[in-house]
Copies of this chain bind each other. A is one copy, B any other.
Amino acid sequence: MDRTRIREMIKNLTQLDYSKMYMHDFLETWHKNDDEIAATFKVADILRGLREAGIAPRIFDSGLGISLFRDNSTRTRFSFASACNLLGLTVQDMDEGKSQIAHGETVRETANMVSFMAETIGIRDDMFIGKGNAYMREVSAALEEGYRVGVLEQRPTVVDLQCDIDHPTQCMADMLHIINYYGGVDKLKGKKIAMTWAYSPSYGKPLSVPQGVIGLMTRFGMDVTLAHPKGYDVMSAVESIAAENARASGCTYKRTHSMEDAFEGADIVYPKSWAPYAAMEKRSDLYTKGDQDGIKKLEKELLAQNTNFKKWECTEKLMKSTSKGQALYMHCLPADITGVSCKEGEVEASVFDRYRVPMYREASYKPYIIAAMILLARKADPADTLMRLLDSGAQRIK
């Protein structure tokens, strides 16, 4: 990307009102207004442009990025690490196993104790319904108070790296992929996107991706369909948000129990497994009670239930029914690929393979999305910062 184009993008950025992002967190996308969402995409694109132009967007000379993962992660962990590194922050893992957390200290205390020099805290806590997002909000409130009373010299920004409700860094990266794939937000009007359940031999996958997708993708004038077998409902509160978004952006949100219906004429398909919301609620209760037998029983039931829907696979045949037979296939990765990572899975190997490069490109947006979220929350005038970076021409590599 040449510097003239980057300069133009920074100028466009100044036309958006994102002033309230300063000193705030990035949790669910639906708590950000349209300008804020647009600014995040814009800053992500600018940061990528700067890096590709060999300019180092290092805004911090020092400072920590705290990484707190309560579930395994490759992509998001590395994306957060990459984003912090790009901006000049050093990642410090908060490994609860090596800490004194178990000692009974409160979330408020821990949040303050690790944050004396922290600019951001990225949290993945997606295992239990009703827990992850609540935990992030508890951390956030503690940081807010710590900053207010002068314990913390700066207010670290909480970035939701996947919770029980939303997966904003994933879905924002997905969306930026769509925007750039089609050449701009203005090209999306009337496009049809199908977020559909797909069969997986594993169970208990988070609902944050389908929820995040319907909660975000309904904001851009695209007709969004959520498809899943009966019993695989997502949180109804998020469906309400999706419906409201659709109304506001002049498109439709609908739900179906047929994968075929959802694929028919779709421009974009996102077939992915998830667990039924009700079952995940039950599972959270069982964990709270420590009912190991109950958990095993539930797991068995869910796996058995899944097997009733093996036909929910993204096949070449289904792909043919999409718009011109060429819908953009998307996935947050890793996927359960039939005959590759499992015997029967979410997608036929040939479909997956055909879209491999676009999907890797899709994933490549995540570090920039996270960096944009941090930058917008930590700088009062990000456009000014970015313009100065561009003008300084600070080389990333000597």
Contact = CB atoms under 8 A, between A and B. Distances in A.
A116 B116 CA distance: 29
Interface bin, chain A: 35 or more
Copies of this protein in the assembly total 3
Given A59-B397, A104-B334, A364 B99 contact: no
26 contacts: A51-B153, A59-B397, A60-B396, A60-B397, A60-B398, A61-B394, A61-B395, A62-B85, A62-B86, A62-B396, A63-B396, A69-B98, A72-B99, A73-B99, A74-B101, A75-B113, A78-B92, A78-B114, A90-B90, A91-B92, A104-B341, A109-B360, A113-B363, A116-B363, A117-B367, A151-B364
A78 B116 contact: yes
A146 interface: yes
A357 B142 CA distance: 12
Interface string A34-78: 000000000000000001100010111111100001001111011
Given A62-B86, A64-B85, A389-B398, 16 more contacts: A51-B117, A63-B397, A64-B78, A74-B99, A74-B100, A74-B114, A75-B113, A77-B98, A86-B117, A90-B90, A91-B92, A104-B337, A105-B341, A113-B333, A151-B364, A385-B398
A378 B74 CA distance: 25
A262 interface: no
Given A113-B74, A117-B367, A397-B60, A90 B85 contact: yes
Contacts of A56: 61-62
B360 A112 contact: yes
A147 to B, nearest CB: 11
Contact of A153 (B52, B62, B106, B336): B52
A388 interface: yes
Contacts of A99: 72-74, 77
B104 A342 contact: yes
A56 B146 CA distance: 22
A232 to B, nearest CB: 20
A110 interface: yes
Contacts of A385: 398
